[in-house]
Amino acid sequence: MARHLNRLTVKQVQNAKKSGLLADGGGLYLSTTNGGRRWVYVFQWEGRRKEMGLGSANDVPLARARDKAAEARAMVADGINPIDARKAEQEAEREPDSVPTFGSFADSYIASVEEGWRNEKHRQQWRNSLEQHASCLRDKSVADVTTEDVLAALQPIWLTIPETANRVRGRIEKVLNAAKARGYRSQDSINPALWRGHLEILLPKRQRLSRGHHAAMPYAELPLFCRKLADRPAIAARALEFLILTAARSGEVLGARWGEVDGNLWTVPAERMKAGFAHTVTLPPAAVEILDSIGRGAPDAPIFKGRGKRGELSIMTIPMLMRRMKVDRYTVHGFRSAFKDWALDCTEFPDEISEEALAHVVGSKVRRAYRRGEALDRRRALMEAWSSFVTTAPVPVQVAA
């Protein structure tokens, strides 16, 4: 047995650089990845390969790693899973009263992150929504919140105030993720407020158009509407066409300046974005044609000229146009909802691509920066498909009775 144990030397451990596993024997390995070195104990449990981390090689010397591996081997020989045993030990060390309630942890979480939020209204909305709509969770231990608990909070408001319900669900999910990161919830547990593949299966499906006050024109009606819109010569019609083709907000479009456009990219500055960061819009050919038909102006000149103080169209211009076209039962913001519904129903693009096209925050700041190049290309493909749909899709022929 001696020949099969203690194969490595201290020098070999110190000099290990090539990615892979170096065996010391008895299931103990030095794992080297991207310059990092850590100890792992590999064993078989119930017919499956298991890997137990024993610490960084910078902190755990070779001799101590061998002692840890020997302890783990002894547990396996006694029919004990060493990974489960370590978890149980960690749980036992935690004081029973050290786990906060959901309410107290939510309060401390908000206090720890609100410095980065844009305004006091947003801070107050977080507090009020959790206090009002997640009150049934406040006195529960944050470690014990279950899917049934989250459903009890969401079901009373899921169909009646859907936008608020969406926000409450997302906020509960963030609080529970933070609790998990702090060690108050099991690292192996699923977040009971998770939407995809979890609550989306358990909560009743809502009508797509029940989006609060943002009544959306069904996307099937858009091709005919856009044909009628193209026949109108007014600059307001061009602005609304551009808004539909880019799925942008009215304030972003009406405030657009020529200096923001570079070829088929339009970068909306942070001060005009709801989320507070600059957003690059990929312009499909039909949107570029609209700009070409208007004729380029000075960099600081508005693209869609009006009689406002800054030479822009009034914020009421597009709603008034929709009233004249007898479609004022829908809202301008609803065109973004129509785009989202179309992307979900009619395309295979990942949900996060349409979310990014709508300038919704997706993932962490680092993740968004990493994805930016790839996501821009995929967003361009999505927006070109959207443009093709609204400008060239067949329009149903109505036959008189």
**Residue 285 and residue 365 in one domain:** yes
Alpha-carbon distance 358 to 140, whole Å? 36
Residue range of the domain that includes 188: 102-202
Question: Which residue type does 160 have?
Answer: T
**Residue 272 and residue 384 in one domain:** yes
**Residue 237 and residue 297 in one domain:** yes
**Residue 229 and residue 352 in one domain:** yes
What is the maximal distance between C-alpha atoms in the chain?
95
Number of Cβ atoms within 10 Å of the Cβ of 114: 14
Phi, psi of 331 (to 5 degrees): -105, 160
Question: What's the full length of the chain, in residues?
Answer: 401
Domain stops at, among 61, 93, 125? 93
Question: What is the pLDDT, as a whole number, of residue 350?
Answer: 84
Three-state SS for 330? coil
Residues 6+ apart with CB under 8 A from 390: 222, 223, 226, 244, 245
More confident residue, 151 or 308: 151
**Residue 349 and residue 384 in one domain:** yes
| pTM across the whole model | 0.49
Question: What is the pLDDT, as a whole number, of residue 121?
Answer: 64
| Whether pLDDT at 210 is above 50 | no
Question: What is the pLDDT, as a whole number, of residue 97?
Answer: 52
In a domain, 212, yes or no: no
**Of the listed ranges 54-58, 152-156, 280-284, 379-383, the one predicted with least confidence:** 54-58
In a domain, 174, yes or no: yes
**Residue 80 and residue 114 in one domain:** no
**Residue 239 and residue 301 in one domain:** yes
pLDDT digits (tens, 9 = 90+) for 137-181: 999 999 999 999 999 999 988 887 777 888 899 999 999 999 998
Question: What is the pLDDT, as a whole number, of residue 150?
Answer: 94
Q: How far apart are the first and last CA of the chain?
A: 93
Q: DSSP letters of 92-148?
A: HHS-GGGSPBHHHHHHHHHHHHGGGSS-HHHHHHHHHHHHHHSGGGTTSBTTT--HH
Domain stops at, among 176, 202, 228? 202
Q: What is the CATH number of the domain that holds 38?
A: 3.30.160.390
**Residue 236 and residue 384 in one domain:** yes
In a domain, 75, yes or no: yes
Domain stops at, among 68, 93, 118? 93
Q: What is the CATH number of the domain that holds 350?
A: 1.10.443.10
**Residue 291 and residue 339 in one domain:** yes
Instruction: Determine the Cα angle at 261 with ends 256 and 262, to 5°.
Output: 175
pLDDT digits (tens, 9 = 90+) for 114-140: 776 656 666 777 888 898 899 999 999
Q: What is the CATH number of the domain that holds 189?
A: 1.10.150.130
Two tokens, residue 238: 């061009």
- Beta sheet of 265-268, edge-to-edge order: 261-262, 265-268, 279-282
Closest CA to 53 of 65, 61, 36, 64: 65
In a domain, 82, yes or no: yes
Write out the H or E segment, with its range, that includes residue 40.
strand 36-45
Two tokens, residue 171: 């906020």
pLDDT digits (tens, 9 = 90+) for 21-59: 889 998 999 988 877 888 999 999 888 899 999 988 888
In a domain, 401, yes or no: no
**Residue 244 and residue 264 in one domain:** yes
Residues 6+ apart with CB under 8 A from 305: 235, 311, 312, 313
**Residue 46 and residue 22 in one domain:** yes
Count of domains for the chain: 3
Average pLDDT over residues 68-85: 88
In a domain, 208, yes or no: no
In a domain, 207, yes or no: no
In a domain, 397, yes or no: no
**Residue 238 and residue 373 in one domain:** yes
**How would you label 307-340 residue by residue, b for 16+ Cβ within 10 Å and e otherwise?**
eeeeebbeeebbbebbeeeeeeebbbbbbbbbbb
Residue 166 CA: distances (Å) to CA of 174, 182, 259: 13, 25, 37
Alpha-carbon distance 113 to 119, whole Å? 12
| Whether pLDDT at 214 is above 80 | no
